[in-house]
């Protein structure tokens, strides 16, 4: 169901047993792969690897709640998120992809009730670390530097999952810095920068 015809967001619901829902999500990945065919071999190899990784994640799911820890960052204008609703699974995605292999029903949910992830401001970054602040809660975190090739240098979208903090755009789990000496050095740099 497209809630706003001027946008390319799309929301729908998957129903049935866990195995039936997993099959439909795997069908989504098949349709995404078919839609993303490119003659650029480097690009196609990267997309195929990302999709294969997601296929393995979906196959390993043991309950509906685990879908909420999965994001498809490669679905055109809107990333794909999942949210459990009782025995069903709501999907917030992009309507630029024709999900012709997927059997779904309409949902009255809004994309942003399904989409997750807070925006964090990049306060300071060096070669090996990044210092960020949550734009809503003002919580601050220091992580080992993620791959930031696709970022504009000002903010990063992060989702908290059972496995830690996931940088949505790069589909990469961020590793917090725990080395006390390095943290002390970083905090000194941050202090100087914030003065």
- Domain range 118-194, CATH architecture: Beta Barrel (2.40)
At 37-55, the pLDDT tens digits run 777 888 788 888 999 999 9
Among the listed residues 136, 15, 172, the one whose alpha carbon sits nearest the alpha carbon of residue 84: 15
Q: What is residue 54's predicted lDDT score, i.e. its pLDDT?
A: 96
Residue 4 pLDDT exceeds 60: no
What tokens appear for 145 in the block? Answer: 């530097």
pLDDT of residue 61: 97
Q: Answer whether residue 5 shows pLDDT above 50.
A: no
Query: Rounded to 5, what percent of the chain is helix, strand, coil?
Result: 30, 30, 40
Give the C-alpha separation, 181 to 103, whole Å. Answer: 54
Give the pLDDT score at 150.
Answer: 52
Q: What is the 3-state secondary structure (H, E, C) of 91-120?
A: EEEECCCCCCCCCCEECCCCHHHHCCCEEE
What predicted TM-score, i.e. pTM, was given to this entire model? 0.81
The share of the chain scoring above pLDDT 90, in percent, equals 48
Strands (E), 4-152: 9-14, 81-85, 88-94, 105-106, 118-125, 129-134, 140-144
pLDDT band of residue 2 (cuts 50, 70, 90) is: very low
Share the mean pLDDT of the chain: 87
| Predicted confidence (pLDDT) per residue in 116-143, tens digit | 888 899 988 888 899 999 988 999 999 9
CB 79 within 8 Å of CB 115: yes
- Residue 92: Cβ-neighbour burial (10 angstroms; 0-12, 13-18, 19+): buried
Confidence of residue 151 (pLDDT cuts 50, 70, 90): low
Confidence of residue 3 (pLDDT cuts 50, 70, 90): very low
Rg over alpha carbons for the chain, rounded to the nearest Å, is: 19
C-alpha dihedral (5, 155, 148, 152), degrees to nearest 10: 70
For 153-164, the pLDDT digits (tens) are 688 889 988 888
* Cα gap 40→117, rounded to integer Å: 31
Positions of CATH 2.40.50 in the chain = 118-194
- Max mean pLDDT among 4-8, 43-47, 91-95 falls in 91-95
């Amino acid at each position: 169901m497209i809630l706003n015809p001027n946008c390319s967001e799309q929301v729908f619901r998957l129903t049935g047993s866990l195995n039936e829902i997993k099959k439909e999500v795997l069908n989504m990945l098949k349709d995404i792969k078919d839609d993303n065919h490119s003659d650029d071999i480097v690009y196609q190899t990267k997309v195929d690897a990302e999709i294969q990784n997601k296929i393995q994640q979906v196959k390993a799911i043991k309950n509906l709640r685990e879908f909420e820890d999965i994001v498809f960052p490669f679905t055109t204008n809107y990333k794909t998120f999942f949210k459990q609703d009782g025995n069903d699974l709501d999907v917030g995605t992009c309507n630029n992809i024709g999900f012709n292999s997927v059997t779904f029903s309409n949902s009255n949910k809004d994309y942003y009730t399904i989409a997750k992830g807070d925006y964090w401001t990049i306060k300071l970054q060096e070669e090996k670390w990044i210092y960020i602040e949550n734009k809503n809660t003002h919580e601050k975190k220091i992580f080992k530097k993620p791959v930031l090739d696709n970022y504009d240098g000002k903010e990063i979208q992060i989702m908290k999952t059972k496995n830690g903090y996931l940088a949505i755009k790069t589909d990469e789990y961020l590793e917090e810095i725990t080395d006390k000496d390095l943290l002390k050095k970083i905090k000194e740099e941050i202090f100087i920068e914030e003065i």
